[in-house]
Amino acid sequence: MILMIKKLIRRILLAIVALIAVIDGYLIFFKNSKQPTTASTVNSASSTTNKNDSEGAVGSGSTASSSSTQDTKSASSMADGTYTGASTQTEWGPVQVQITISSGKITNVDVLSYPDTEKKSIQINENALPTYKEEALTAQSSNIDQISGATETYKGFTGSLQDSITQSEAAS
């Protein structure tokens, strides 16, 4: 009798585990695919694993955030000057950038603040921010590729960058 109860409990537990696996699979494959995303490539300066930004391993793939889908205008509509974007709060701390516009083009991007209280955040940002700055200069907009493993930094960087671009466009 006890053996039959143990078998019954084992089968119930297996059924529960199987049900959880099915639900998890649904959430991963179907729930996430309903969110609009844009294509993005990986531009990583490091292949080390960094978990502090709740973002997984640097270089393991990429996802796009809503920041990359913002409507951006061409660089020619930007007024010359220096513009400081709003400090954009992320899960790990604020990110704020300042851009310099010359001849209607972004010529410099300075990161004024970024999450730097945790060792992993510092490591992630040391790798990601130079790439984000370079891509912003190349794209002349906030529509840049995201580095996997630096999602929170990406959200903050592109949010503040877009605000500074918007300020320069309003000044023209």
What CATH number corresponds to the domain at position 158? 3.90.1010.20
Q: Do 92 and 156 share a structural domain?
A: yes
Domain assignment of residue 133, given as a range: 66-171
Q: Do 140 and 100 share a structural domain?
A: yes
Q: Which pLDDT tens digit goes with each residue over 116-128?
A: 888 888 899 999 9
* Element of type H or E holding 126: helix 119-139
Q: Do 154 and 75 share a structural domain?
A: yes
* Element of type H or E holding 101: strand 93-102
Count of structural domains within the chain: 2
Please tell me the predicted confidence (pLDDT) of residue 99.
95
Mean pLDDT of all residues belonging to the chain: 76
Close Cβ partners of 155 (under 8 Å, ≥ 6 residues apart): 65, 67, 88, 90, 95
The verdict on residue 56 lying in a domain is: no
The verdict on residue 53 lying in a domain is: no
The verdict on residue 44 lying in a domain is: no
Q: Do 154 and 85 share a structural domain?
A: yes
Q: Do 77 and 141 share a structural domain?
A: yes
Residue 74 has pLDDT above 80, yes or no: no
The verdict on residue 150 lying in a domain is: yes
Helix, strand and coil content of the chain, in percent to the nearest 5, comes to 50, 15, 35
Whether 29 and 12 have beta carbons less than 8 Å apart is answered as no
pTM over 0.85: no
The verdict on residue 130 lying in a domain is: yes
* Element of type H or E holding 111: strand 105-113
The verdict on residue 99 lying in a domain is: yes
